[in-house]
Structure 1
Amino acid sequence: MAKKQAGENSKKAAGNARKAEQANKKKHEVLEQLEQEESSKWEQGSKKSNKKQEEEQFKREEAARKKQEREALLAAEEASMPSKPVSQKQRGAAKVAAKRSGKIDDFLDFNKDTPELSATGLDNALEALALTGKDSGVSSKDIDRHPERRVKAAYNAYEEKRLPEIRKENPGLRLQQIKNLVFREFQKSSENPMNQITNISYNANQEELEQKKKQVREHKEKKFT
């Protein structure tokens, strides 16, 4: 009888071991599933965060561009206003300044090498006016060393604008086909940051930077000469 009792205990122990092993396996599977779900949540959160940062960067750049346009518009309005008569006091101040520097004419005529420009329309007039500035309308901040950082936000804005238009033009296409058309358009679009003449290599030296600024100025001047 003792041997039979030992055999029953052995089978019971083996059964308990299998149950424990199965329970442990199931526990690991549940933990792995939870880890995957948590990882997926973090990944989605990271993507949303990156998208939000890109959209904020795009908004900041758009605000800076609009500010520049407002300033140029104000300058154009001031330039179109009749000049006020110069008082005797102002003439005296100008003479003193000229005597001190000896180069007052050079200072006032900093854009004497800029070719004569002709523009029609407000937007073109503002752009042409900017070319008469002291930096000829192109400063170092206008040169883009990392246009790829703005591509995603620019594409999202482009897709939002063009998607309904192309869908209306091609009612028989599926959504993915329409998105493919939008993407191919964007590759060649002037709204694509990668297609801008202001782009330069991120590690360009000062000489290359100045050459690029000159190239951009000449490109803009051709539009109005």
Structure 2
Amino acid sequence: MAKKAAGENSKKASGNARKAEQANKKRQEAEAQAEAEEASEWDKGSKKGNKKVEDAAFKKEEAARKKAERDALLAAEEAALPTKPLSSKQRGAAKVAAKRTGKIDDFLDFNKDTPELSASGLDAALEALALTTKDAGISNKDIDRHPERRVKAAYNAYEEKRLPEVRKENPGLRLQQIKHLIFKEFQKSPENPMNQDTNIHYNASNNEVHQKKQEVKSTREKKFT
């Protein structure tokens, strides 16, 4: 009788081991499927053609932004250079230019209502300098009626930049876990088009656009006053 019980216990243990192995296999398959679904979530509703268009638009906007930064930096450097007194010929040319352009004083005083700003650091100085330009550097093109169209391309660029950094910071995480962290970062990042202060609803009127520009200007000025 004792031998029979031992045999039954052995069979039972073997059966339990098989069940545990099958359960573990199902769990791994479920995790793999969940990761695959999460990875494909970004691809829903998008086509390769749309991605190319979005990437191209993002690159074009990024190039324009960098050019604006270079122009602003150059203007700041020129403004810091000591000025030389104008010769009589130069003063005459300036008067001619003033007559041709109309009320030159109005042009020069467009920022007379801008409060005195102070900033430290190159990026902050460039941002403050932009606020002293006409319309505080905020054009109608900066007012975004459809920021959602740029999210996909912006996220791809953000993920590409952050992936090696986050992987280095978290060497024990799997790729999908790292991407999940990056996605959560992007939700609050200023590089997310949905977080821009220049966003407005798609059917905004001209008056609403003007009000938005004034709100953005006021908000940005508070950072440097």
* Length-normalised TM-score, structure 1: 0.72
Q: CA deviation at 1:47?
A: 2.6
For residue 182 of structure 1, give the secondary structure of its aligned residue in structure 2. helix
Structure 2 counterpart of 1:77, one-letter code = E
Match of 2:115 in 1: 115
Q: CA deviation at 1:219?
A: 1.6
Q: CA deviation at 1:92?
A: 4.5
Q: How does 1:50-199 map to 2 (within 5 A)?
A: 50-92=50-92, 103-199=103-199
* Length-normalised TM-score, structure 2: 0.72
Deviations 1:33-83 (A, max 9, x none): xxxxxxxxxxxxx83322222111111011100111111111112111111
Partner Cα distance (1:100, 1:157) in 2: 46
Structure 2 counterpart of 1:215, one-letter code = E
Match of 1:6 in 2: none
Q: CA deviation at 1:189?
A: 1.4
In structure 2, relative to structure 1, the CA distance for the partners of 1:99 and 1:66 (3 Å cut) is: closer
Match of 1:219 in 2: 219
In structure 2, relative to structure 1, the CA distance for the partners of 1:151 and 1:85 (3 Å cut) is: same
Q: CA deviation at 1:201?
A: 0.6
Partner Cα distance (1:55, 1:96) in 2: 46
Partner Cα distance (1:102, 1:156) in 2: 48
Deviations 1:109-154 (A, max 9, x none): 2211000011222222222111111222211111111111110011
Q: CA deviation at 1:198?
A: 0.8
Partner Cα distance (1:102, 1:178) in 2: 59
Percent of pairs with identical residues: 79
Partner Cα distance (2:48, 2:100) in 1: 60
Q: CA deviation at 1:90?
A: 4.0
In structure 2, relative to structure 1, the CA distance for the partners of 1:169 and 1:133 (3 Å cut) is: same
Alignment RMSD (CA, Å)? 2.5
In structure 2, relative to structure 1, the CA distance for the partners of 1:114 and 1:175 (3 Å cut) is: same
For residue 137 of structure 2, give the secondary structure of its aligned residue in structure 1. coil
Structure 1 counterpart of 2:114, one-letter code = T
Structure of greater Rg: 1
Structure 2 gaps of 5+ residues are 1-45
User: Which stretch shifts more, 194-203 or 77-86?
Assistant: 77-86
For residue 134 of structure 2, give the secondary structure of its aligned residue in structure 1. coil
Partner Cα distance (2:177, 2:100) in 1: 70
